Amino acid sequence: MGDKVKTEIKLKETVAAADVANRLEWIVEGLRAGTLSIVSDGETIKLTPGSVLDMKLKATQKKEKEKLEIEIEWRPSPFIAFVNE
């Protein structure tokens, strides 16, 4: 098995709060199903979260700006990593 190349998709846009809520609901559904496919500009990343995840939540409030950061991280199971290589 060779080293896996890092694949990354970043999305940044200004959208309505309802659209953000819909996207978060889609992420929740993917976490429950154990699979998330992220697509942007013809690139696709299929993520396979397991049943145990590391989660960081950071809320920041400044005079002119508020921010919520959510980071979810996991290691794919050896079987999934082997199948995807």
Query: Which tokens belong to 36?
Result: 């998330």
Rounded Cα distance between 14 and 23, Å, is 13
Tokens of 39: 């697509």
pLDDT tens, 35-74? Answer: 999 999 889 999 999 889 999 999 999 999 999 999 999 9
Taking a C-beta distance cutoff of 8 angstroms, is the pair 64, 42 a contact? no
Give residue-wise pLDDT tens across range 9-31. 998 999 999 999 999 999 999 99
